[in-house]
Amino acid sequence: MEQARALLVLVRAGLPAALLRGLLETHRTPAAVLAAGVPAWRDAGVAASVRAALRRPDAARLRADLAWLAAGPRHLLGWHDADFPALLRAVPDPPPALFVEGEPACLWHPQVAIVGSRRASPGGIDTARAFARGFGLAGLAVTSGLAAGIDTAAHRGALDAGTPTIAVVATGLDIVFPRANTALAARIAGTGAVVSEYPPGTDARAGQFPARNRLIAGLSLGTLVVEAAERSGALITARLAGESGREVFAVPGSIQNPMARGCHRLIRQGVALVETPDEVMAALGPVAASLGNALRRRLGVARPPSRAFATAANDGEPADKRVLVALGFEAVNLDQLAGRTGLTVATLAPMLLAMELDGRVIAENGRYVRRT
């Protein structure tokens, strides 16, 4: 709780994201950043007003934030944290902290983003829900923004498949926008995760939604656009996905549908036209392999994601061998596997992705089985 308290102070002080990331990299932990004191903050370029906020944080607000964290399955991940999602580190201007309601290990699960119009047609709603269900049945998580229309359909399609879905929002997690999705947000948090870079109490503001979109794109292997106007947030997400080196796909629509024009524009620009979930998953194979290699390097060399993984390596038995032995030949979920191996879920998720890409593990409906 000491580190969470310190990170809350840093987030609430209004430090620019890049500066906060730099301080966490330099000092390793939020508490160490605070302990460094005024001279170190000044040398790092922290403004005088922010230094004052760091020295005298709002005690009432801090108590409220800590009470919110303690009141449910809620978590605060910082840039310094080994469980901070690896894919998100690669986006331009990644957030220095993430507030998570639900299971933070879901953020390591291979994901596909589905985005589109808030004013979607009935056909667009059906398409988004069908694609999301197809991805879910194939073992992929679905990420979207909890907005009305396509986002809502995507989350519901993933829930239909019994697969985790991740909602990235542009408010504090204690505020659901739109309010009509309050029950949906609770369902998502119950099996997946609702995520924000904004602290509790942050209201919806226009500029926060494009910022939110970079997180949707950054968490995902690829982004699928289903219905979008020529000027829309979905096209911003598609652009950000491309800038992050991720694949982008678009579903074509009727020329009579104004909500299809954004998709047609993307297709003219060279984005892949897709008609089935299988086409998306086939195209993501090489991307998943490349990202899996990056995860393997992080797990094996750069920085183990948890003490449990380090222990597995240090006791003379490779962690992947321990996982294979624990899997056996009956499908198990992540929680069961964590109990058998002693590894954390956040450690297991990227390891299993790498092992699936190597052909040693099969993933089906969120459960894993050893390939014979």
pLDDT recorded at residue 231? 83
Contact 272, 250 (CB under 8 A): yes
Do β-strands 141-144 and 111-116 pair in parallel, antiparallel, or remain unpaired?
parallel
Mean pLDDT of all residues in 172-195: 96
φ, ψ of residue 259 in degrees (nearest 5): -80, 0
Do β-strands 97-102 and 222-226 pair in parallel, antiparallel, or remain unpaired?
unpaired
Report the alpha-carbon distance of residue 188 to residue 175 in Å, rounded: 15
Domain with CATH 1.10.10.10 in the chain: 304-370
pTM: 0.78
Contact 107, 305 (CB under 8 A): no
Mean pLDDT of all residues in 139-146: 93
224: helix, strand or coil: strand
Q: How many Cα atoms are found within 13 Å in the side-chain-facing hemisphere of 150?
A: 30
Report the alpha-carbon distance of residue 3 to residue 179 in Å, rounded: 32
Mean pLDDT of all residues in 218-227: 94
pLDDT recorded at residue 353? 72
Mean pLDDT of all residues in 151-162: 95
Q: Which residue has the higher pLDDT, 321 or 220?
A: 220
φ, ψ of residue 260 in degrees (nearest 5): -95, -10
Report the alpha-carbon distance of residue 352 to residue 368 in Å, rounded: 8
Contact 353, 288 (CB under 8 A): yes
Contact 135, 280 (CB under 8 A): yes
At 289, is the pLDDT very low, low, confident or very high (cuts 50, 70, 90)?
A: low
φ, ψ of residue 335 in degrees (nearest 5): -65, -40
CATH 3.40.718.10 matches 304-370: no
Helix axes 2-12, 17-27, angle to 10 degrees: 150
- Please count the other Cβ atoms lying within 10 Å of the Cβ belonging to residue 244: 19
Where would I find the H helices in 274-344? 277-297, 307-314, 319-327, 334-341
Helix (H) or strand (E) holding 223: strand 222-226
Contact 167, 155 (CB under 8 A): yes
| 245-286 tens-digit pLDDT | 889 999 999 888 988 999 999 999 999 999 999 999 888 876
Question: Which CATH code fits 104-283?
Answer: 3.40.50.450
Domain with CATH 3.40.50.450 in the chain: 104-283
* Amino acid residing at 87: L
Mean pLDDT of all residues in 336-362: 76
Tell me how many helices (H) and strands (E) the chain has: 16, 11
Instruction: Please report, rounded to a whole number, the percentage of residues in the chain having pLDDT higher than 70.
Output: 88
What burial letters (b/e) apply to 142-165, b meaning 16+ CB within 10 Å? bbbbbbebbbbbbbbbbbebebbb
112: helix, strand or coil: strand
